[in-house]
């Protein structure tokens, strides 16, 4: 009788696991765990927690992005053709608009990037802008980082490269803690520094994302009130600024901006 040799670890049959794949909640596929760790999945917003009853551990990490009621599926990739179609927020000046769309598709003089202090890209709108602008943006941001990066509440200017917008104003919003660490003051400073750069460069149109409303957890209602107040102040003081577009990413933030303008 031949002696049975130990089977090497990489020859053993892998244990198969049923995981959720980013094609929908009702569709699952089975792949080896080893292959799943090597696989590069698209970045999605965080999924529900264990308290919701989801039996799939991967569903806690990935889920499809849910579009708001004002967007049709696929409209983000197509962008906006022709004049910007959105709800006008400022009825007095008619120069402030609200759009729920992809900010990287807007053809304006400059878009504002909700960046981090390193300026080297990240998640959310920061990562989307870096991917759309191309690697040349990262090279310029590395030079700015070598000069000290960007502090919270400050702003830096770069070219737009592959974006329809000519320039990008990078600003670092505050991380919400409890409201007692100068978060509203720092967020207002973000808008003021961006407007200062716009005046210096002679920009006539700007597009702002909802700064700090994503992973930085700033309450949308408070962030929207600050954004609308700072924008209206700048529009009244700077006649050369013809258009400001406030760009939101979901329906909840859009409603917060609508409430802020109703109270303004």
Q: Where are the domains of the chain?
A: 98-263
Q: What is the pLDDT of residue 261?
A: 83
CB contact burial 148-171 (16+ within 10 A = b; e otherwise): ebbebbbbbbbebbebebbbbbbb
Distance in angstroms (rounded) separating the CA atoms of residues 53 and 49: 8
pLDDT in tens, the chain (264 residues): 555 555 555 444 444 444 444 434 443 444 444 444 444 444 444 444 433 333 333 333 333 333 333 333 333 333 333 344 444 443 334 899 999 999 999 999 999 999 999 999 988 999 999 999 999 999 999 999 998 889 999 999 999 999 999 999 999 999 999 999 999 999 999 999 999 999 999 999 999 999 999 999 999 999 999 999 999 999 999 999 999 999 999 999 999 999 998 876
pLDDT of residue 264: 66
Torsion of CA 149, 199, 182, 99, to 10 degrees: -100
In 3D space, the residue among 138, 130, 136 whose CA is nearest the CA of residue 113 turns out to be 130
Q: What's residue 94's pLDDT?
A: 80
Q: Take residue 111 and report the two structure tokens written for it.
A: 């878009």
- Give yes or no for a contact between 30 and 40, defined as CB atoms under 8 angstroms apart: no
- Domain 98-263, second-level architecture: 3-Layer(aba) Sandwich (3.40)
Supply the pLDDT for residue 134: 96
> Which CA distances in Å does 33 have to 18, 38, 58, 156, 261?
9, 9, 11, 43, 50
User: What does the angle CA 22 – CA 27 – CA 32 come to, to the nearest 5 degrees?
Assistant: 70
- Map residue 20 onto helix, strand or coil: strand
| DSSP per-residue letters across 178-242 | SS-SSHHHHHHHHHHHHHHHHHHHT-SEEEE--TTSSTT---HHHHHHHHHHHHHHHHHH-TT--
Query: DSSP of 26-56, one letter per residue?
Result: T-EEEEEHHHHHHS-PPP------GGGT---
Q: How far is CA 35 from CA 41, 60, 63, 91, in A?
A: 12, 19, 20, 55
pLDDT number for residue 165 = 98
Q: Annotated catalytic sites, by residue?
A: 126
Count of beta carbons in the 10 Å neighbourhood of residue 239? 9
């Amino acid at each position: 009788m031949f002696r049975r040799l130990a089977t090497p670890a990489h020859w053993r049959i892998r244990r198969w696991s049923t995981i959720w794949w980013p094609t929908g909640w009702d569709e699952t596929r089975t792949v080896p765990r080893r292959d799943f760790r090597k696989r590069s999945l698209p970045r999605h917003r965080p999924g529900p927690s264990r308290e919701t009853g989801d039996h799939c551990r991967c569903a806690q990490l990935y889920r499809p992005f849910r579009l708001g009621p004002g967007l049709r599926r696929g409209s983000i990739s197509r962008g906006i053709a022709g004049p910007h179609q959105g709800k006008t927020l400022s009825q007095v000046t008619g120069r402030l608009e609200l759009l729920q769309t992809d900010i990287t598709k807007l053809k304006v003089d400059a878009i504002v990037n909700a960046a981090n202090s390193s300026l080297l890209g990240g998640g959310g709108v920061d990562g989307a802008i870096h991917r759309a602008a191309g690697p040349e943006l990262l090279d310029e941001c590395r030079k700015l980082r070598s000069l000290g990066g960007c502090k919270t509440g400050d702003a830096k200017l770069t070219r737009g490269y592959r974006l329809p917008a000519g320039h990008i104003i990078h600003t670092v919003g505050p991380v919400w803690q409890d409201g007692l660490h100068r978060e509203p003051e720092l967020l207002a400073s973000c808008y003021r520094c961006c407007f200062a750069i716009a005046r210096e460069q002679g920009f006539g149109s700007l597009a702002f994302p909802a700064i700090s409303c994503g992973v930085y957890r700033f309450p949308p209602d408070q962030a929207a009130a600050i954004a609308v107040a700072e924008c209206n102040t700048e529009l009244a003081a700077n006649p050369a600024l013809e258009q400001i577009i406030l760009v939101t990413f979901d329906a909840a933030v859009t409603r917060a901006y609508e409430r802020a303008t109703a109270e303004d």
